[in-house]
Amino acid sequence: MYDSIIPTADTIPVHWLWFQVLLIFTFFIHMILMNLLLGGSLLTAWDLLTGKLELRTSGSIPTLVALTVNFGVPPLLFVQVLYGHLFYSSSVMLAVPWLLVVPILILAYYGAYVFVKKSDKAPVLSKGALIFTSISLLYIAFVFVNNNTLAIQPGRWGIYFSDPGGWNLNLGEPTLWSRYLHFVLAALAIGALGRAIAFKFSKMDDKEKQPQIKRNLKIFGWITLIQFGVGSWFWLTMPKAVWLTFMGGSLFATALMISGWLLALLILHSSFTGRITIAMILGGLEVLVMVIVRDLTRAAYLKEQFHPSQLENVKEVSPFIAFLLVFVVGVYALYYMLRLMLKPKTSQS
């Protein structure tokens, strides 16, 4: 009914698969960082409230905010290239909550610094700043889930005509809460894994850091176990045509889904037995698989309306080459800054 209001897609300079691969690659990096940030902030807030805070692994939150935002820009741009006519439309429908993401993110970034810098001088202010940052990140995640679910379902765009004021959160979406909880739990799991890795490579005494490593690996394992239930709930709330894609409808999609379940089982074993290196590798692979599954899910939702292969390729290679050069330079610049940040500080003579 509402297919007629879908805007015309823009042209692209090269084959759509170039952008698809770049989208998956950059979104994978962003997801790792985002999970470390959101999950790490929530776990740190919990430790702060329960008196178990370990400041030696919580000072990285401001850095993670900066890295997450920087590495969030490329996948957002690639989404706009491939699905811009859908993404822009959904963004307009929830314009107010969407635009509020920017100032709230800035305040959350400031709150992360207040938490780190004022932890000794003003503990109450520091605690409040961390809680504010954690709640702000949860809000941003919620708005993104709303926008992403609305963008892949043009049939729901009719909500705009009943309320054109820009407050149209996709609250009637059956998968909204299961999807949101699924991603928040994933962030908590990867956040716990990240903290275990931070403890492993810290300069703490082995007797001091081993209990922390085991504790965070167990959190990683328990949340992964809970994800079996939440993931099944998320699965069952999706349209039948979508979840059937992963149950034989597409051989590739089905193989990926099975791989995701098997990886989760291996994660349980490695996390509960304290094998941090294996857990780290499995956790990274699980995120990569879920990123690809997410993309295949979007394609299944839009099967009747749109696919990036329908975009007109105008074959203008030079702008794309220029972009790749700038992209590589930008990635190297971030890598260089990280090296400087992690370089041991030496005393000035």
39-70 residues labelled b (16+ CB within 10 A) or e (exposed): bbbbbbbebbeeeebbeebbebbbbbbebbbb
Terminal CA-to-CA distance of the chain, rounded, Å? 73
Q: What average pLDDT does the segment 106-125 reach?
A: 88
- φ, ψ of residue 313 in degrees (nearest 5): -95, 110
Whether residue 97 is predicted with pLDDT greater than 90 in this model: the reply is yes
Q: What average pLDDT does the segment 92-100 reach?
A: 95
Q: State the pLDDT at residue 259.
A: 96
pTM of the model: 0.92
Q: State the pLDDT at residue 4.
A: 62
Alpha carbons 300 and 87: distance in angstroms, whole number: 16
Residue 175 near residue 151 (C-beta atoms within 8 A) = no
The ranges assigned to domains in the chain are 1-173, 174-305
Q: What average pLDDT does the segment 316-320 reach?
A: 90
Residue 137 near residue 65 (C-beta atoms within 8 A) = no
Q: Which range has the worst mean pLDDT, 144-148, 207-211, 213-217? A: 207-211
Residue 53 near residue 44 (C-beta atoms within 8 A) = yes
Task: Fill in the amino acid letter for 292.
Answer: I
Q: State the pLDDT at residue 164.
A: 87
Q: Which of 240, 242, 228, 134 is nearest to 182 (CA)?
A: 228
Confidence of residue 338 (pLDDT cuts 50, 70, 90): confident
Task: Fill in the amino acid letter for 86.
Answer: L
